[in-house]
Amino acid sequence: MTGPVALVVNGVPAPATDVPDDERLLDTLRWRLGRKGTKEGCRTGDCGACTVLVDGETTLSCLTLTHEVAGAAITTIEGIADDGLGRRVQSAFAEEDALQCGYCTPGFIVAVTGVLAELGPNATRESILDALQGNLCRCTGYLAIQRAVERVRGGTP
């Protein structure tokens, strides 16, 4: 079965027609809407490269059916800097060399933004790192990403 979906991506309505029932949000974003900043990784929910925010919550777009998120506010890497926190995370990743090949970077920046917003300013370092374990990076060794997180939190990296 296929049908129309009224998506809202980065604050902008993005209607799509003839979307199959089993189409993944990842594929809708990348191939239907041309939002290729969201990266395709494992497609099994294990690597985090495809992370987006759905109503502010970190969500694996590879395991989300497009029809499920009709009407929800979807934030991708292309829109993450519309928000002050997202903008700070994005610049912290650059400042701290928290990216190398860059393939995990969009998902990581979105995930850090979502996790910091969700856990709030009093969260422990351990709880934040624990929440980020679903995002894999093979280049940086994660320490630069940890420093970027600390930079955003205003602590010492």
24 counts as binding another protein under rule CB under 8 A: no
21 counts as binding another protein under rule CB under 8 A: no
- Report whether 135 contacts 107 (CB < 8 A): yes
Choose, by CB under 8 A, the member of 38, 51, 75, 113 that binds another protein. 38
Select from 70, 144, 62 the least CA-distant residue to 107.
62
Dihedral of CA atoms 83, 88, 90, 93 in degrees, nearest 10, equals -160
Residue number, 30 or 67, with CB nearest to another protein:
30
95 counts as binding another protein under rule CB under 8 A: yes
Q: Considering only residues 55 through 74, tell me which ones interact with another protein, judged by CB under 8 A.
A: none
155 counts as binding another protein under rule CB under 8 A: no
d(CA 5, CA 24): 12
- Report whether 106 contacts 38 (CB < 8 A): yes
Least distance from another protein to the Cβ atom of residue 28, Å? 14
49 counts as binding another protein under rule CB under 8 A: yes
Name the helix (H) or strand (E) containing 104: none
Contacts with 118 (C-beta within 8 Å, 6 or more apart), sequence order: 56, 57, 58, 131
50 counts as binding another protein under rule CB under 8 A: no
Q: Considering only residues 100 through 139, tell me which ones interact with another protein, judged by CB under 8 A.
A: 100-106, 109, 126, 129-130, 132-139
Select from 153, 100, 103 the least CA-distant residue to 128.
153
Residue number, 7 or 92, with CB nearest to another protein:
92
Candidates 5-13, 53-61, 65-73, 78-86 — which segment interacts with another protein by CB under 8 A? 78-86
Could you tell me the sign of the dihedral formed by the alpha carbons of 90, 125, 119, 41, in that order?
A: positive
Q: Give residues in contact with another protein (CB under 8 A).
A: 30-31, 36-44, 46-47, 49, 76-78, 80-81, 90-91, 93-95, 97, 99-106, 109, 126, 129-130, 132-146
